[in-house]
Amino acid sequence: MQVSMTVNGQQRTDEVEPRTLLAHHLRDNLGLTATNIGCDSTSCGACTVMVDGLTVKSCTVLALQAEGSEVTTLEGLSTDGELHPVQAAFRSEHGLQCGFCTSGMVMAAVGVLADNPNPTDREVREGLEGNLCRCTGYHNIVQAVLKAAESGPAAGQVPSAKQEVTA
């Protein structure tokens, strides 16, 4: 079947098998391999991307379910070579080691800050409950999200995404 979506600001139309998972569509068809797959059970969050401004686990979404949507992956987060505030904070706070969870973790962190621009340590942890990291013990990830929050509303925004107002 044909599926169309805007990915990191670019309109894409591709032919996919109906069962194609969004994560595989991004990785295998669109070559966006920052999005990783770390489990089979919607547990680890490594595949987290934004669809219409909300974080989702792209291993548990069919590509077809993103029809007409605006999808943002890690590759679409920085603009004009400038790191997004969350990316910059992950670097300055050493919020990543092996990097495998990082793409999903960064996207989830943007989602946390979109929902709550000034979270506490505990609120960051709860906001990231769907993302697993084996390297950092989460300490520096939490520090990075708190640091990113200091840079204001931009930390919770993705470039060019439709700003969805939640009910």
Partner 1 sequence: MSILGTRVVRTEDPLFLTRGAVYTDDLTDPRLAGALHATFVRSTVAHGTVTEVDASAAREAPGVVAVYTAEDLGDLQPVPPPLPFLDAGFARPWLVPVGGRVHFVGDLVAVVLTEERYQGEDAAEMVVVDIDPLPAVVGTAAAATDETVLFPEVGTNKVAAFGEPAPEDFFADCEVVVTRAIVNQRVAAAPLETRAASAAWGEDGRVTIWCTNQGAQQAQGQIAGWLGLDPKLVHLVTPDVGGGFGAKIGADQEYAFVAWLAQQAGRPVRWAESRSENMTGMLQGRAQDQVITIGGDRDGTVKAYSLVVNQDCGAYPRIGTVLPTLTMLMAAAVYDIPKVHAQATCYATNGTSIGAYRGAGRPEATAAAERAMDLFAAEIGMDPADVRRKNFIAPFTEPFTTSSGATYDSGDYAAALDRVLEAAGYAELRAEQARRRERGDVRQLGIGVSAYVEITGADSGHGTSENAELEVHPDGTATVLTGTSPHGQGHATTWAMLASEQLGIPVEKITVLHGDTDRIPDGGGTMGSRSLQQGGAAVHQAAVELVEVARKRAAELLEANPDDLEVDLANAGLSVKGTPGTGITWAQLAADEQLIVQTTFTANAPTFPFGAHVAVVETDVESGKAVVTRLITVDDAGTIINPLLAEGQRHGGIAQGVGQALLEEILYDEDGNPQTSTFADYPFVSATELPSFELVEMATPTPMNPLGAKGIGEAGTIGSTPAVQSAVVDSVAHLGVRHIDMPATSMRVWRAVREAQKGSTN
Partner 2 sequence: MIPAAFEYVRVSTVDEAVAALAEHGEDAKILAGGHSLLPIMKLRLAVPSVLIDISGVQELSYVRVDGDEVAIGAGTRHHELEKSEVAQAEVPLLPHVASRVGDPQVRHKGTLGGTVAHCDPASDLPTALLALGATVVVQGPSGRRSIPITEFFLGFFETAMEEGELIVELRVPRTGAGGWGYEKFTRRENDWPIVAAAAVHLPDGSVGVALANMGGVVLKASAVEAALAEGRSIEDAAELAAEGTSPSSDMHADAEYRSHLARLLTKRALKVASGETGASTAESTAA
- Tell which one of 1, 10, 67, 91 touches partner 1 (CB under 8 A): 91
**Binding of partner 1 by 72 (CB under 8 A):** no
Binders in 66-125 for partner 2, by CB under 8 A = 67, 108, 111-112, 115, 122
Chain-centre distance for alpha carbon 28:
18
**Binding of partner 1 by 74 (CB under 8 A):** yes
CB of 132 to partner 1, least distance (A): 5
4 to 43: interface string for partner 1, x by CB under 8 A: -------------x-xx---x--xx--x-xxxx-xxxxxx
- Tell which one of 54, 62, 64, 135 touches partner 1 (CB under 8 A): 135
115 contacts 138 by C-beta, under 8 angstroms: no
CB of 34 to partner 1, least distance (A): 3
List, in sequence order, every beta strand (DSSP E) within the chain. Answer: 2-7, 10-15, 48-51, 54-57, 70-72
Residues 36/56/136/8 CA torsion (nearest 10 deg): 60
Number of residues in the chain? 167
Query: Which does residue 18 bind out of partner 1, partner 2, none, counting CB within 5 to 8 angstroms by kind?
Result: partner 2
> What sign results for the dihedral spanned by CA atoms 136, 104, 98, 80?
negative
Chain-centre distance for alpha carbon 124:
15
**Binding of partner 2 by 57 (CB under 8 A):** yes
- The number of beta carbons lying within 10 Å of the beta carbon of residue 20 is 18
Contact window for partner 1 (CB under 8 A) among 6-14, 64-72, 126-134, 149-157: 126-134
Residue 25 CA to residue 146 CA, distance in Å, equals 32
Chain-centre distance for alpha carbon 66:
15
**Interface positions with partner 2 (CB under 8 A):** 1, 17-19, 21, 24, 40-42, 45, 48, 54-57, 59-62, 64-65, 67, 108, 111-112, 115, 122, 126-127, 129-131, 166-167
